Amino acid sequence: MNFAPLPSVDAAAVPSDGFVLDVREDDEWAAGHVEGALHIPMSDFVGRFGELTDAADDGRRVHVMCRVGGRSAQVTQYLVQQGIDAVNVDGGMQAWDGAGRPMVTDNGSSPFVL
């Protein structure tokens, strides 16, 4: 089979108003995440796929994020196969944090990448 290269983007290149899908687990999300991101852990992804299609029904590009890029690459590949405009964020949340991009927590504590 012939596989196209996985579309990816640097964390620094994600638009500030870009649509981010975070596929990390709950504890990772709680430690720190991108404000406004949609959180669907990879372990729940297939069962909650409709939440993503509802959120992305305007055709926006989906920037898929995990901690370093492995899980998000798998989810990105799946989304592309479903015809969704998705890109993997290279380096994940570690690269996001390293690029000085803003993070938040739900409880007001200082965000960090778990």
Q: How far apart are CA 57 and CA 61, in angstroms?
A: 10
Give CA 24 to chain center in angstroms.
8
Q: How far apart are CA 96 and CA 54, in angstroms?
A: 25
Q: How far apart are CA 33 and CA 8, in angstroms?
A: 19
14 is catalytic: no
Q: How far apart are CA 15 and CA 42, in angstroms?
A: 23
Catalytic residue among 66, 79, 84, 113: 66
Residues designated catalytic: 66
